[in-house]
Structure formats: structure tokens, C-alpha cells
Amino acid sequence: MHDDRTLTEERLDRALRERIRPAVHPRTVEMEFEVWHAPGEPVPFTEAVAAPYKPGAIGDDWGPAWGTSWFRVTGRVPRDWAGETVEAVIDLGFAKDRPGFSAEALAHRPDGSVVKALNPRNTWLRIGEPVAGGEEFTYFLEAAANPEILDGVSPLGDRATAGSEPLYRVERMDLAVFDQQVWELVQDLEVLDQLMRQLPLGSARRWEILRAVERCLDALDLDAVGASAPAARERLRAVLSSPAHSSAHRLSAVGHAHIDSAWLWPLRETVRKVARTTSNVVALMDDRPEFVFAMSQAQQLDWLREHQPALYARVKEKVAAGQFVPVGGMWVESDTNMPGSEALARQFVFGKRFFLEEFGVETQEVWLPDSFGYSAALPQLVKLSGSRWFLTQKISWNTTNPFPHHSFLWEGLDGTRVFTHFPPVDTYVAELSGEELAHAEENFRDKGHATRSLVPFGWGDGGGGPTREMLARAERLADLEGSPRVAIETPSDFFAAAEAEYDRPPVWLGELYLELHRGTYTSQARTKQGNRRSEHLLREAELWAATAAVRAGFPYPHEELDRIWKSVLLHQFHDILPGSSIAWVHREAEATYARIADELEAVIGAAQRALAGAPEGGGTVVFNSAPHGRAGIAAGGAAPAVQDHDERPAVEVAEHGSGFRLDNGVLRVTVDGRGLVVSVVDLVTGRETVAPGRAANLLQVHPDLPNRWDAWDVDAFYRNTVTDLTEADVVRRSGDGVEVVRSFGSSRVTQLLTLRPGARRLDIDTEVDWHEQEKFLKAAFPIDVRADHSTAETQFGHVQRPTHTNTSWEAAKFEICAHRFLHVGEPGWGAALINDSTYGHDVTRTVREDGSTTTTVRLSLLRAPRYPDPATDQGVHRLRYALLPGATIGDAVREGWSFGLPERRVPGSAEVAPLVSVDGDAVVVTAVKLADDGSGDVVVRLHEAHGGRVSARLTAGFALAGASVTDLLERPLAGERAEVDGDAVLLGLRPFQIVTLRLTPHHEA
């Protein structure tokens, strides 16, 4: 038999492109429309409907970047179309291959009710089914001119630089007959064509499909596609009804629309994207009762509730019907590397509570397909939030090591395990194509142990969601020979079945490190500083407001704190906190953080004044919000400032050669004439910290042009070229420290190096006026220590990572994330770097000629990527970090907290006992607050921070009527009880265990 396969495949391609797809809408008439270009920001429907519209025509330009144009579309159904299904087909200039990234519109009826959205892959509005003929209609289209910012350096990322030129042109405004049979024929042929091309050439099934397609095309009259479509479809019936093999992979298809809460668009545009996507989804559900759609990010549904209450009511109806499924259990799809301990816990608190209160749904799946790596703290938080399962997709982007599992148990820092799935389809925006399904089946790494995986389908990133074409594919692929079986299911149905069939799944211990997007630990420093500062201020506000509420009847600001928390959590979204959004997003974030700081400072100040009492003789009360005592003041307490002379040795600053020497009796630091730290002697042990012949606090500049994603990535080759900043403009004494000024490129850095009396810490206060492009600024500390691993603070504990590169897994971790500290050590001695807002670090090791080892720890201070924000981090930054020689892990924990939570001094004379106190440094209290339910109970969250088992006693600073162990949502935790001893709770904690206690004060009758 001759091989005519290519001939038939090409015949099918052309027939679909030129004859069959166009025949889906065989008869058209042009609709009339008028347009009003809204000035400035988007306006509500009530304002738009009353605006002065002007006549429009096909070919009209519209939409300067970020503008909104309202189209009033009117039409009359021809009377001779009676009995037909009729649709409006609208193209506002869509980029056909970029759903969610270009022009989009939301259609409203004249009464303001929402119909559905229009985007590049969803261009229709149903007018009637069937029509009577002669119907008149009007729609108002709220069209967003969102620029495409998908490549290269562009000024379009901010209204201030985007210009006023229109971006789009009206291409089509037609009223059209919809031919259902032709549309079904298109779906039949596309499914079979995609399946056929994935089958082996030697497969009999491939040739059966080819011959059936050939017979179908023979039966199709290309001049009368509609009339001949039923007969053509009949020729395909046999191959479409042949069942799948019994061993075929099972795919649980979950409707989804990944919507970045901000990225290449600002937050205000996401509010509208959510409305557009959910309107499409609920409209599709009306037509297809089997359709199930999962949506994460409580914030997005809260936006819908606020801005589109009628549409939100429809969503609630679909939730009750089981079609619209809330998932995720988090406020947003957060970054999980950089949020602090309490912030990551609150992502679950606010997300889960929203779904419970609004929908009565206890979400079970944590849904984070697109975040840039996953903290080892997550499994414990998942379980403590009341969830059972975890889903991610992004690890498929690893550039070095393919992840070895698709279904597995993920074990966190403390030993908690959660069943985790990583969809082998390798995308969270699937369209259920033959190529995707074949890849999912072939790629699935748990064959022989498990039979099923999940595929999230629907256009995403910019939203859009599933389409009627995707549902048609799912219907045909439910049981089709040669394909995996596809069943539209809820995520919980999938997880329950997948967990039940996998008796002994493999275990992955520790973080899920993404071998990509490592630059996100550093990009947009102001955003990261705003986040860290907000986290600390929220801790202080809750602590002092709760203390003042119990002690002085202070009105605890529940609503204000909730509102602020939600704003902070929103800005931890995985394209905001990582610094990978457009300029508009980060400009707004900086302003938001400044406003939050003002609001929280007001709360803290009011609570502390309520506690401090009247100042007697100009007295001052010192408040300590750190979780450890310091300077004689208990953690979470306050005391009048001591006026006695400080008995600790003063800090000596003396000239030393061409530089200076600082000495506080604990450390002796030598700064040479270049302004570099060439010696740091730990006077307690007599040990030198800096490796021989090396200099610490060495600023280094690397070129930084990654291969693909500028703001996201640093590629390993950046290390091949480095410029050490060893020339100084100024090295001089400044008060009790040494000031160093350097100029380089177009930038300038000023540093103040200081020791505090009695402190085992060299503080380095750095101001950088940064005007470089595509450069990477690091601060290097070569430590004379043989460390085979580094220890980095993460949420509720720390994670150890090898410093060697024995395998490709270690080599891939050439840039790592740490919170307040990064520690390196050997038995008996170690050193730590602590910081106030830096997350990116790297650690390398070399063996010197004498056989000793130098372990170099570097902080990643600033980057200068140009995409998607061409002016990333330009301007002045203040960064604080410190070197802590002779430090244990416990020292690093203590100093890390102290560094970011300075003492506060308030006029007054009172002594304030802590609301709660814990014996022993190993237990760290991360939150003290009043219960969210307004009961007046005190909620305390704490964890073991050193990595060992510990027994501790938590004492309440008030009469205790009762105590309970709760989950993150402050609900009693099944199987756990608090052991109460008077006004104390006795605790036994495993390494890194998190405990939330609810303490009920005794109220006198």
C-alpha cells in the first residue's frame, strides 16, 4: 500500500483552515457600534452607560495602553434567520495566540448585568438559541487595552511611560448564524487529528483514524459544508466510539484559569480579569452541567464580591451546586520562599476562613502551580490549616534535574508529610490537546504504582479559563482508543483516588527548590524591604495591642489589622514579592507599604502609650518586641530605661596603619585603607573570622544578563566575570564607627561599620545610589571555617544545604534563599550573616594550600534587570546587614530577630510584664494576638527554632481560666490537649514543631 499519509494530513489542514472552520458561522451581517473612550482609570457601568458615545466603524483604532473603551453594540436579527442559533462574533484586535495578554472585554446588558467576556480565544456572545427573527439587542463592551509586554525592554509597563498611541483596531463586529453540526465536525476532526499525530507510525490505530478522516473529507461538500456535515460526521463515528485500552492512563481534568494577581498588568486590571474569567465560567456551566471549575486565591473572589456582587452571587450558586470549586486555601498564590513565618501561616488563615465563611467550604487542596519553589515549612502549615493535599506544577521548569516523582509524600522540616501531586502534563494552562495528553501519559513517572494524574485545563496567566472547545475535547476523550481516559472531576475526587491507589508513595524530604528564577530573591529591593518591614510592624502591632487590651482595656483593632494583613498577603503574590512584575505594580507596592507603615506605627504608638503610664520626671519606657529578652527587658515586655552608667566596655575606634581598628572587648575589627574588613577577631575564643589574605564586606559587581527571564533569573555563568570594588573615595572615622565611600560605574555606595558596646556583632549600614543596568551587586564574607553545609532561616525553622557540588542537585543551588540569617560553622565555632531585608545568598568553599578551608558567604544586595521593568531598583537604597562571629544557630536566631525589631522608647514610667513568657531560647513566639472571633482569648503561636527536642513552660501574664491547642484557624486541634499548670502551659516540642495555643483569661464575675 502506498504511504499517502502526508497527503491526507495536509488535505485535512487546509480543509479545516479554509472551509470547515469558517463554515461554523456561515451567514453574517455587520452590527452597528458606537464607542466612548474613558479618560483615566476604569469607571463603573453606571457612568459608562450614560457617557457620550460616537459612531464607530470597522478598522477604527482604539485603546492607548491601559486605557478603557466602551463599545455600545446594537443589532437586529434578520427575520429569515428564524429558528437558527445566532451569535455575535467580535474581534477588537485580539492577538490570536495570546489569550489573557491583549485586548479583552466584558459584555454587559443594558441593565448592567454581566453576560460573559471576550478574549482572543473566546470571541462570541450567544444572542439566541433558537431565535424568532427580528429581535433587537444592545450590549455594552468594557474593553481593556492591555499592552502586550511579553518580550524585551518596553516602556509600556507604566501609564507614565506608555504613551498615548492606540494599540488596537476593531477587526470584526458581526452577527452570525452558528452551525452546531459544523462546529461539532470541527471538534471531531481536531481531536482525531491531534490523537493521530501522537500515535506511532506503526500503530494500526493511527492508520484507522487516517482512513476515517479521508472518508469524512470525501463525504464533505466543500461548497455546502453545513449541509454535508452530518454525513461527514457519520464517517467518523466508528473511530470516535472505539474505547480506550483497559491500561490507559486516567486523567482527571479540572477546569482552571491561572490568573496572576499582578504581573504584566496592575492589581486594578486583575480585578477586571477575575470578573471576565468568572463570567465565562458560570456561562459555560449554565450550558454544561458536567463542567467543574477550580479557582484558588480568596483575594480574587473577594474582589469579585466587592466589585461585581451580582456575578459573585452567580458564583456562589455554582459553588453550592458543586461545579465551581474553591481550592488552594490561601489568600493568594503566594511566593513561599520569602514570606515570613507568621505571614505564610496567615496566607492559610485568611484564605481558608474566607472560603468557609463565604461558601461553607473547607478546602482540602493547597493549589500552588506557579510559585517559584516551595518552602520546607509548607507541609506542616498545610496540615495545621486543616488541608490534606498539595499540588504544584512549576518544578517541571527545572533546568538541571528532572524531578523524580509525580505523586509522592512531601516531608517538611518537622517530619509532617502531605500527599503531593505534580501533574505530568507539565502545564497549568492545558487545552486538552492530543500532544498534551500524550505527554502526560508518557511523562508520568509513577507507572506501575499509580494510574492517574491531574490536568488543569483552561487559558491562564492572564485568565480566560476553559472554552466550549475544551469541553468538547474532554467529552470525546472520555473513553477513546489510543488516548488516556479523560474525566472532568473535582480536585478532591482526584486526590482521594490517587492517594488511595498508591500504597507506598516515595518520600521527598525538604524544600522543593526550583532550579530557575533564582533572581527573584533579589529583584525589586524596595518591595522586599516593604514586605519585611510590614511583617515586623504587624507583629508589634498585634503584640502591643493585645497586651494593652488585656492590661488596660485598649480597644483591639481587629478590623484594621485584618485589612492590613490582607494587603500584605496580597503583595506576597508570586510575581509581586519576587520582583517580577511591571513598574506600575512595584510603584504601587512601595506606596502601599508606606501607608501600611504609617497605619501600623499609629496602632503601635497608641497601644504602647496605653501601657507606658504617665512619665514621671521625663521618664522613658523601653519596649522589647523581640522573642528573646535583651538589655534586661523580657521578651514582649517593657521597663523604664535604666539611667545608670553602662558598665560594658566602650567601643574604641583607633587608627591602624592606613585604616582603623574597632574594639568593644568582644570583637576586634580591622578595616584597612581600602575600607575592607581584613580581620575580625573573636576575643572570646581568640579565633580569626576572616580567611587569611582575604577581605570581608567586599562588594562585588557581576554582569547579569540571563538567557531568558531578566527579573526572574540569574544564570550560573554570571560568576565567571567579577569586579571587586576595592577602591575607596573616603575611609574615615565617623562617631563610633568607620565610614567608607566608594564610586563605581554610575553608582555610589556609603557604608558605616560599627560595633555596639558588648555586642558580638559587626553592623554594616549600607546606602547605595544605584544606577547600573544589568549588573548584580554582592557583598562577600570569606570565613575561615570548614563548613560542609550552610544553615538558612526559613519559616518556623531553618534549612541546611550542602556547600559542596558533589551532584547536579547541589550544583543547581548556586543561589539560595535565607530570611534573617545564614550560618556556616564547624564543630565548636561558626559565624552568621544577618540582614534586615535581603533574601538572596550564595555559599562557596575552597581549600587553601595549607589544607584549611575558606567558606565564602555572599549577600545578594541589588540587581538591575530591564524586563519587565526597565528601571528596576534605580535610585537610593538603604540596606543593613551584620557579621556575627562565634555564633551558634541559637545566636543567629536571637540576633536575627533582634536586628529587625529594635527597641522602642516611649515616654512613661510603667513596667510592662509580658503577656506571655517562655523559658528557654529554643522556643520562639512568632505571634501574640487576640483571637479572631472577638472572644478576648489570647492566641499565641510558637515553634521550636534550634532543630532539637525541647520541653518548655509558657506562662501567661494573667489569670488563666483555660487553654487549648488549636490549628492555624484557632479551632481546637483533634487529638491535642494543653497541659495546664496554674497559669502556665507545659510544652514538649519536636524539632521545628509549630504550636498554636488559645489562652482564655479568667474574668471575675
List, by residue number, the catalytic residues. 370
**Strand spans (E) along 300-339:** 324-326
Angle at the Cα of 880 from the Cα atoms of 702 and 634, rounded to 5 degrees? 150
Widest pairwise Cα distance in the chain:
107
Taking each helix axis from N to C end, the angle separating 267-287 and 468-476, rounded to the nearest 10 degrees, works out to 50
Match 479568667 to its residue by C-alpha cell: 1002
Taking each helix axis from N to C end, the angle separating 525-552 and 558-570, rounded to the nearest 10 degrees, works out to 160
The answer for residues whose C-beta is within 8 angstroms of residue 556's C-beta and 6 or more apart is 545, 546, 549, 930
Query: Which of helix, strand or coil describes residue 281?
Result: helix
Cβ atoms within 10 A of the Cβ of 176, count?
22
Task: Give first-to-last CA distance, the chain, whole Å.
Answer: 97
CA distance 253 to 490: 8
Residue 623's region, left for phi above 0, alpha for psi from -120 to 50, else beta, is: beta
Cβ atoms within 10 A of the Cβ of 557, count?
21
Question: Cβ distance 407 to 443 under 8 Å?
Answer: no
φ, ψ of residue 630 in degrees (nearest 5): -160, 145
CA distance 375 to 147: 34
Cβ atoms within 10 A of the Cβ of 795, count?
28
**For residue 165, what is its C-alpha cell?**
498611541
CA distance 433 to 435: 5
CA distance 729 to 976: 62
Question: Cβ distance 571 to 635 under 8 Å?
Answer: no
The number of C-alpha atoms within 13 Å of 488 and in the hemisphere containing its C-beta is: 26
Query: Which of helix, strand or coil describes residue 915?
Result: coil
Query: Which of helix, strand or coil describes residue 226?
Result: helix
CA distance 386 to 389: 10
CA distance 676 to 698: 6
CA distance 72 to 74: 7
What does DSSP assign to residue 630?
Answer: B
Count helices and strands in the chain by DSSP H and E runs: 20, 53
Q: Which residues share a beta bridge with 858?
A: 780, 842
Cβ atoms within 10 A of the Cβ of 97, count?
9
- CA-nearest of 186, 241, 194, 243 to 216 is 186
Pairing of strands 324-326, 293-295: parallel
**Strand spans (E) along 632-710:** 637-640, 652-656, 659-663, 667-671, 677-682, 687-688, 698-703
Q: Which residues share a beta bridge with 681?
A: 668, 688
Measure Cα distances from 521 to 213, 398, 863, 877, 882 in Å.
52, 17, 10, 16, 19
Pairing of strands 485-488, 250-255: parallel
φ, ψ of residue 695 in degrees (nearest 5): -125, 140
Three-state SS for 198-212 is: HCCCCCHHHHHHHHH
DSSP output for 503-521: SS--EEES-B--SS-GGGG
Edge-to-edge strands of the sheet including 172-178?
A: 28-30, 172-178, 85-91, 124-128
